[in-house]
Amino acid sequence: MSNTIRSDSYSESVKHGIHELATIPITSNRRAKTIDNIHRRSIYYQPVNVLSSSTRSVGRPMMMTLSSTHPNFQLEQQIETTNSKLLNPSLNIKPPREVSLRVKFIRLGEVITLEEKFYAEVVIEARWLYDPEAASWNPNLYVKNALGDVKEEVVSELVDHLDEPIYTDKKKYDTIYVWEIRKVVGTFWEKLELNSFPVDVQQLSLQIVTRCPIEECILVENRCQPCMVNREAFLAQQEWFLYENIETRSTITMEDFSFRPIRQSTYIVTCCVARRPGYFYWNVYLLIFLITFIALTVYGVAPEFPQNRLQITCLFIFILLFKKKIFVFLNLGTLLLTSIMFRWSVSRLLPPVSYLTLLDKYTLISLVFISLNSIWHSIIGFLIRRMDISKTIDYYVLIIFTIVFLVYHCMMIFSLYQALRRRQIMLESDRKYASKLAGMFETFVQGHHAVQYFKNRQNSSHTSLFV
Q: Which domains does the chain have, with CATH numbers?
A: 2-91 (no CATH), 97-276 (2.70.170.10), 279-438 (1.20.58.390)
Q: pLDDT value at position 141? A: 96
Q: What is the total residue count of the chain?
A: 467
Q: pLDDT value at position 80? A: 65
Mean pLDDT of 164-192: 86
pTM above 0.85, yes or no: no
Give the residue from 408, 196, 192 showing the smallest Cα distance to 289. 408
Of 120-134, 161-175, 366-380, least confident by mean pLDDT is: 161-175
In eight-state DSSP terms, residue 93 is P
Name the region of 431 (left: φ>0; alpha: ψ -120 to 50; beta: rest).
alpha
Q: pLDDT value at position 454? A: 57
Per-residue pLDDT band for 402 (boundaries 50, 70, 90) equals very high
Give the residue from 95, 121, 106, 126 showing the smallest Cα distance to 222. 126
Per-residue pLDDT band for 234 (boundaries 50, 70, 90) equals very high
Phi, psi of 453 (to 5 degrees): -65, -40
> What is d(CA 325, CA 317) in angstroms, rounded to the nearest whole number?
10
End-to-end CA distance of the chain: 127
Q: pLDDT value at position 78? A: 65
For residue 42, pLDDT over 70 is answered with no
- Interstrand relation of 217-221 and 97-112 (parallel, antiparallel or unpaired): parallel
More confident residue, 460 or 344: 344
